[in-house]
């Protein structure tokens, strides 16, 4: 099976712009979670989608949003970018719900905000 | 406040020895605890999951223990190899809904 894929891998934006990141889960996986990783804060949970519904949301401002499509692919959007949004954005997919299952992470999208 | 602390930011160990990594948490009631490995520039890779009613789990050279009274998990790598060098992350799941809270990680270096 192909792993979790994320596009693009690298992105450079300027403050005030918006960005959309994409995640394709492993085939058959219906849950997709998004995380932000920074050197200072580590890995922090953004939100999780299952069957096109957001089930959980982390403690991030409303500028961070996401969605999931019927084929389980997911996108996250960050509007009005700030310098502090520079981070590695990771998505992870898993198959079982509602019980926790192994999460398979993608390689991440490295976002740099100038 | 809620905290997940991993014993040290970096740990160096001689090849062949057992590496022991610690994960302590406060103000969480995890239903599950997971350990991941992360290499530079890559996403975390799942290693082991242990449930709150389990004391110990093993997989090949890996062993994890979970003490909900002490609010601590220990992660052991026996017969460590240079290829085990990576950052190891513990993660708590309180709800079983794929919402993981991660520790800051321990960077393990195995010296040949």
pLDDT digits (tens, 9 = 90+) for B37-85: 999 989 999 999 998 889 999 999 999 999 989 999 999 999 999 999 9
Bridge partners of residue B88, in order along the sequence: B37, B106
> A68 with A93: CB under 8 angstroms?
no
Of A45, A94, A103, the CB nearest to B101: A45
* Sequence-separated (6 or more) residues with CB below 8 Å from residue A58: A44, A45, A46, A47, B99
pLDDT digits (tens, 9 = 90+) for B2-45: 789 997 789 999 999 999 999 999 888 888 899 999 999 899 99
Interface test with A, best of B43, B46, B104 (most A CBs within 10 A): B43
Q: Which residues from chain B sit within 8 angstroms of residue A45, using beta carbons?
A: 99-101
A84 min Cα distance to partner chain B (Å)? 18
Q: Which residues from chain B sit within 8 angstroms of residue A31, using beta carbons?
A: 98
Which regions in chain A score pLDDT beneath 70? 1, 96-101
Chain A to chain B, count of Cβ pairs less than 8 Å apart? 68
Q: What per-residue confidence (pLDDT) applies to B88?
A: 97
**A58 and B45: CB-CB below 8 Å?**
no
Q: What per-residue confidence (pLDDT) applies to B52?
A: 87
Chain A contacts in chain B segment 37-76 (CB below 8 A): 41-46, 49
């Amino acid at each position: 099976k192909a792993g979790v894929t994320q596009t693009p891998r690298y992105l450079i934006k300027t403050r005030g712009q918006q960005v959309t990141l994409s995640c394709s889960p492993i085939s058959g996986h219906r849950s997709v979670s998004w995380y932000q990783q920074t050197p200072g804060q580590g890995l922090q949970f953004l939100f999780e989608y299952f069957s096109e519904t957001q089930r959980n949301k982390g403690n991030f401002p409303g500028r961070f949003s996401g969605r999931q499509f019927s084929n389980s692919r997911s996108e996250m959007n960050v509007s009005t970018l700030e310098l502090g949004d520079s981070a590695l954005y990771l998505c992870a997919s898993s198959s079982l719900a509602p019980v926790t299952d192994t999460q398979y992470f993608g390689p991440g999208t490295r976002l740099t905000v100038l | 406040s809620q905290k997940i602390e991993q014993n040290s930011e970096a740990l160096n160990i001689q090849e062949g020895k057992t590496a022991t990594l610690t994960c302590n948490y406060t103000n969480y009631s995890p239903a599950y605890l997971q350990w991941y490995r992360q290499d530079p520039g890559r996403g975390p890779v799942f290693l082991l999951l242990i449930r709150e009613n389990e004391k110990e789990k093993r997989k090949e050279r890996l062993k994890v223990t979970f003490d909900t009274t002490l609010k601590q998990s220990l992660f052991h790598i026996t017969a460590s190899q240079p290829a085990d060098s990576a950052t190891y992350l513990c993660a708590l799941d309180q709800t079983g809904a794929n919402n993981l809270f991660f520790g800051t990680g321990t960077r393990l270096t195995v010296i040949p």
